[in-house]
Amino acid sequence: MNWLNDCAYFLGGAFLANGVPHFVSGVTGRSFQTPFAKPPITGLSSSTVNVLWGFLNFVIACGLLTRVGLFDIRSIEDALVLGAGVLLSGLTLARLFGRYHGGNAPSKRSTHYGAPGESR
């Protein structure tokens, strides 16, 4: 058990979790928050920027998981540390982005993506 490797695997999980909403929003043609928006984090970036930002997060995660230590998905410890990074980052991102998309108060309807049945 090497705590530096565990930190890298935890951060790898966090970068994986962060990459998913950006990449998915981008490939579906939707704008989403990125650090490059104006104002940063609260403003929306284009779908192209989101695909690139999501992909960069995946590359960083891959580097942390494959170039630091000997990550083994069959190792319970390695998988738990990676999963903890994904879960903690996912919960944090849900709270952060929920403020902007109505996810923290599900009774309030978000119109960011349009209402069901609404034509664009």
SS3 letters across 62-91: HHHHHHCCCCCCCCHHHHHHHHHHHHHHHH
Token pair 């690139």 in the structure block, residue = 52
Split at pLDDT 50, 70, 90, the class of 120 is very low
pTM (two decimals):
0.81
pLDDT > 60? residue 110: no
pLDDT > 60? residue 109: no
Split at pLDDT 50, 70, 90, the class of 114 is very low
